């Protein structure tokens, strides 16, 4: 760790200690803070916040610098038998916590050797990379808890990269001369003169966005590595999986991935004239007809669960449109046009745009760096005998399509992503 950064951390920690001493004094005397003490405490907290901001900015500038003068806890160093690796994730979390202690931090040398064995140091976020096998398991759990993310096309990028630029076809029509960005083909006698052609590409520019998670841990929990591992692993996976699914649908593209509902590739089917119902059979038929034919095999209906009761009331003649396989007495699972209907919390409220989406997630691209950064702070919640762990995962995503296409024969545009207008 850079010497200047360590000096800044020491000054910040000195202020934290002063604040803690003031509160300890008040607590021992069993009285509230005086106006003067309250002003002093407020001033200390403001200075601590300023130091935190300065340290963060300093760390960003030093991201590519080699670590120097790292205080290493040799007593906690592993034997040669485990090759400098933590036995479990809980053990690493406690080492991260210890590295955030006041005064001069004590750093377990394994924290500097967790990513690849190549001396990965404290990055710009002031934390440590989660050991590769633990990070892989965390991300696996996060994606398994999600519903949308596992279905997306996913590309990991190298540790030195912060984004990905790739060529993608710029298609808007399936007419001759427009397919595959403008490639043209001819039968032998179809044209006297062949016209040279080349594909028209566009650039997909993805840059990694930070998804930051905070998890508070009591001092008692920090004494049990197994319990700490279980709580953080489960909580982290559940929350990160939820947030990734949310941006796949609703992401703005500003500081986060671009979601389907904000993508220019989305087709929005208008409601019927005079429609007051939340959903009609005509809505479903028109949505299905606007789904690109090749996407139908992978497409899934994602709905807000509040919309489900309305689906049960739909009929064609006297035949129900939506009913679970085996009937209502068995598993509550159904299909529309042979494709699964999946309730999703992230879908919009019933009657709003995005309450029902027909989507082929294989046409959505996710990139990630494959690693997770972990850091701990003890001053954020020191009044409550709690420490906070911060996890940072870098990810970005957007639909592969940049617009709907007009079919070879027909006029209605098609897309892998279709929704229904507000009713």
What pLDDT does 141 receive? Answer: 65
What pLDDT does 32 receive? Answer: 87
Pairwise CA distance, residues 7 & 12, whole Å: 9
What pLDDT does 174 receive? Answer: 66
| Mean pLDDT, residues 98-109 | 61
The larger pLDDT score, comparing residue 319 to residue 192, is at: 319
Instruction: Judge whether residue 303 has pLDDT over 50.
Output: yes
Contacts of 5 (CB under 8 A, 6+ apart): 55, 58, 59, 62
Q: Is residue 81 part of a domain?
A: no
Q: Is residue 179 part of a domain?
A: no
What pLDDT does 311 receive? Answer: 93
Q: Is residue 353 part of a domain?
A: yes
* Closest alpha carbon to 149 in 292, 359, 318: 359
Pairwise CA distance, residues 382 & 45, whole Å: 12
What pLDDT does 188 receive? Answer: 65
What pLDDT does 370 receive? Answer: 63
The larger pLDDT score, comparing residue 357 to residue 391, is at: 357
Among the ranges given (130-144, 281-295, 296-310, 398-412), the one the predictor scored with the smallest mean pLDDT: 130-144
Listed in order, strand segments (DSSP E) in 294-402 are: 300-303, 315-316, 319-320, 335-336, 339-343, 356-359, 364-377, 386-399
Among the ranges 11-20, 259-268, 398-407, which has the highest mean pLDDT value?
259-268
CATH classification at residue 316: 3.30.2320
Q: Is residue 125 part of a domain?
A: no
Q: Which of the four pLDDT bands, split at 50, 70 and 90, describes residue 78? A: very low
| Mean pLDDT, residues 294-301 | 94
Report pLDDT digits (tens) over 232-284.
777 777 888 899 999 999 999 999 999 999 999 999 999 999 999 999 999 99
The larger pLDDT score, comparing residue 85 to residue 81, is at: 85
State percent of the chain over pLDDT 70.
Answer: 63
Q: In 10 A of CB 259, how many CB atoms?
A: 25
Whether the model clears a pTM of 0.85, i.e. scores above it, the answer is no
What pLDDT does 118 receive? Answer: 28
Q: Which of the four pLDDT bands, split at 50, 70 and 90, describes residue 393? A: confident
If residue 299 lies in a helix (H) or strand (E), which one and from where to where? Answer: none
Pairwise CA distance, residues 261 & 304, whole Å: 14
Q: Is residue 165 part of a domain?
A: no
What pLDDT does 333 receive? Answer: 63
Among the ranges 43-47, 130-134, 223-227, 235-239, which has the highest mean pLDDT value?
43-47
| Mean pLDDT, residues 200-213 | 81
If residue 141 lies in a helix (H) or strand (E), which one and from where to where? Answer: helix 132-145
Pairwise CA distance, residues 290 & 402, whole Å: 16
Q: In 10 A of CB 276, how many CB atoms?
A: 9
Contacts of 260 (CB under 8 A, 6+ apart): 248, 249, 266, 357, 359, 364, 399, 417
Domain interval for residue 409 = 261-365+402-420
299 close to 360: Cβ distance less than 8 angstroms: yes
| Mean pLDDT, residues 187-201 | 64
Instruction: Judge whether residue 25 has pLDDT over 80.
Output: yes
Q: Is residue 4 part of a domain?
A: no
What pLDDT does 348 receive? Answer: 96
* Closest alpha carbon to 302 in 349, 264, 353, 354: 354
Q: Is residue 321 part of a domain?
A: yes
Report pLDDT digits (tens) over 122-167.
333 345 566 566 656 666 666 777 899 999 998 888 766 778 777 6
Pairing status of strand 335-336 against strand 339-343: antiparallel
* Closest alpha carbon to 52 in 413, 398, 359, 388: 388
β-bridge partners, 320: 315
Q: Mean pLDDT score of the chain, rounded to an integer?
A: 76
Instruction: Judge whether residue 351 has pLDDT over 50.
Output: yes
Q: Which of the four pLDDT bands, split at 50, 70 and 90, describes residue 298? A: very high
* Closest alpha carbon to 147 in 355, 347, 395: 347
What pLDDT does 126 receive? Answer: 46
How many domains are there within the chain? Answer: 1
Instruction: Judge whether residue 195 has pLDDT over 70.
Output: no
What pLDDT does 55 receive? Answer: 76
Backbone angles phi, psi at 31, to 5 degrees: -140, 160
Q: Which of the four pLDDT bands, split at 50, 70 and 90, describes residue 102? A: low
Helix axes 225-250, 89-99, angle to 10 degrees: 90
Q: Is residue 303 part of a domain?
A: yes
Pairwise CA distance, residues 114 & 95, whole Å: 12
């Amino acid at each position: 760790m850079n010497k200047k950064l360590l000096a800044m951390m020491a000054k910040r920690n000195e202020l934290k200690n002063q604040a803690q001493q003031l509160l300890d004094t008040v607590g021992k005397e069993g009285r509230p803070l005086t106006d003067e003490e309250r002003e002093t405490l407020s001033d200390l907290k403001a200075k601590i916040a300023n130091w935190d901001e300065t340290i963060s900015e300093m760390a960003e500038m030093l991201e590519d610098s080699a670590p120097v003068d790292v205080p290493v806890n040799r007593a906690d160093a592993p034997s040669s038998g485990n090759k400098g690796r933590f036995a479990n994730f809980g053990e690493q979390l406690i080492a991260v916590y210890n590295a955030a202690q006041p005064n001069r931090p004590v750093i377990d040398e394994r924290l500097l050797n967790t990513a690849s064995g190549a001396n990965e140091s404290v990055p710009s976020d002031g934390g440590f990379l989660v050991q590769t096998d633990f990070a892989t398991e965390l991300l696996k759990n996060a994606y398994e808890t999600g519903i949308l993310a596992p279905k997306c096309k996913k590309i990991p990028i190298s540790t030195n990269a912060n984004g990905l630029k790739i060529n993608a076809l710029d298609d808007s029509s399936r007419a001759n001369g427009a397919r595959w960005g403008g490639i043209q083909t001819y039968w032998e006698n179809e044209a006297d003169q062949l016209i040279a052609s080349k594909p028209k590409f566009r650039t997909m520019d993805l840059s990694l966005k930070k998804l930051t998670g905070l998890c508070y841990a009591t001092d008692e929990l920090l004494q049990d590595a197994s319990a700490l591992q279980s709580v953080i692993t489960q909580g982290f996976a559940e929350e990160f999986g939820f947030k990734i699914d949310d941006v796949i649908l609703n992401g703005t593209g500003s500081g986060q991935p671009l979601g389907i509902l904000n993508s220019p590739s989305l087709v929005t089917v208008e409601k019927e004239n005079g429609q007051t119902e939340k959903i009609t059979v005509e809505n479903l038929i028109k949505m299905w007809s606007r789904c690109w034919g090749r996407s139908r095999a992978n497409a899934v209906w994602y709905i807000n669960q509040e919309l489900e009761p309305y689906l049960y009331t739909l009929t064609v003649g006297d035949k129900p449109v939506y009913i679970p396989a085996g009937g209502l007495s068995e598993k509550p699972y159904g299909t529309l046009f042979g494709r699964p209907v999946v309730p999703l919390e992230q879908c919009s409220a019933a009657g709003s745009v995005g309450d029902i989406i027909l989507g082929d997630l294989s046409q959505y691209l996710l990139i990630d760096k494959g690693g997770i950064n972990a850091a701990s702070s003890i001053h954020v919640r020191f009044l409550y005998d709690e420490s906070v762990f911060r996890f940072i995962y870098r990810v970005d995503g957007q639909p592969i399509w940049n617009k709907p296409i007009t079919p070879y024969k027909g006029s209605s545009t098609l897309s892998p992503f279709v929704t229904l207008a507000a009713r």
